[in-house]
Structure 1
């Protein structure tokens, strides 16, 4: 089951227990916590308003997913977090109030291997969430994290289709995150990033998210490095990065988003986290990826060869691979 299918199924089941009027469920890069692939139903939101909504979500620290994670909370509601004063939330004050939103339940889908997604459930028309609702969502959060992490793990296949980005794929956004220009290679990459039923001329949410992460970083409230790895299907991954197009870093300058095929090291990190490898197992995997044999790995990590063999066996078992060659092929995405 894909991450999208999994989220759709969960949303349908949650609604039977906990009604809501709108939702935004965004996958995140497990290491940077920056958003990648959204699944949303926001009544009344026009597509051109998406960049503004995303920008405000990153700038609003009240119940922001990374803050909840750092605080050890899996779920929270906006009314409770603001003491009933919703205007304390920049996002609500400048955006959600216009949609009649009266409460938002936020769920962080994270585990000890990374942050995999966050979910906002909106209620409108004066409806609010109870403490028991937040408790229910908090109990559900680790289950969702495991389900999404396993879905990401399944994206790594050893017969992945190649993605050709031979030229520079660059998108230039205004300070308000409105598209100014893009290269021809960026247009091709954006076509691959967009869902099949979306207009191909639009910039996908992943580009807006890394740009919004940069804005939040500059505002002194960083979510994480403005970088995210995005799965395109068929084992293909690209990495998006955002930076300001000014030598001084002035916040009024345009934002540049680059799109590149993910490097082997970038793929390996997501692969290892998605398969639940321990820090030591990730170290061993990195050495195996460099072509090191067990003797060399033992010397570098100051452990016995027997211990190295045990770690390799554990990695193969957790990743469902039968040999080092198959393991590396799956990480690389090439047979």
Structure 2
């Protein structure tokens, strides 16, 4: 608690500041002290502390003594959210600065190339640029057609239309995509580059999700396929251009057919759990997962599931124990 003891020592140091003009009146000294911004005062304290973490430790101890913040059981989570928001904003500004610098370098290179082109009658540079642009547009068009075709890919089973899951057992939709494991669901929403967290709308409830940007129509607004563990759900901005939402399933022994009700559903018989992760599960959970995988393979092949096989085996044993009974009309399976 040595840091707490510094509190009464730090304040007198701030009162030793003197005006630059020796002939200034006492009122000017008071104005200099009172007229400083919070940022100036805190910056001076940060310089004196030397280490940023020491400064933060000092400030939090002042807050602890002078407020009721730490009496709340959720204070740690609240402080972490503030830190995460500041970190996200810092990353966005840093990325924006790097992008601006890269663009400036590209402009400079383009100017040099243009000057060289003007000094020569050779127009090959222009032709190459046009060809490159056309190639890029063609590639984008091909990717767009591929994505549209992927969205339309469906399978028919028992009269119901179900979408084929993506490589991570979810679906790629028009405005967002989602993936899943037995334990979690991850939602990925593209957003404008450099979007600040304060402009994001992300409301997670036990059985409902809202996602979008302030002032614009919601991208996702619906009831979950199944409930989630609210305390284990989070969202963040990644790479300054993607909103990522992590949801923890309440029932961790079930595959979701859709993220929210009303959206396209996937064919859960096409879901493929990662075998490498089975070793991380306890024996009971692993047995359940292996049973689910076996049943999925049996359904795909049109064969009886483990429950059907168990019922069939029980019936055969019963028939063997009662040979006097007529089972010629009994239906097995």
Per chain length, whose mean CA-contact separation is higher, i.e. which structure has more relative contact order (CA < 8 Å, sep 6+)?
1
Interval containing the TM-score (normalised by the shorter chain): under 0.3
Looking at secondary structure, tell me which structure has more strand per residue. Answer: 1
User: TM-score, structure 2 length as denominator?
Assistant: 0.19
User: TM-score, structure 1 length as denominator?
Assistant: 0.19
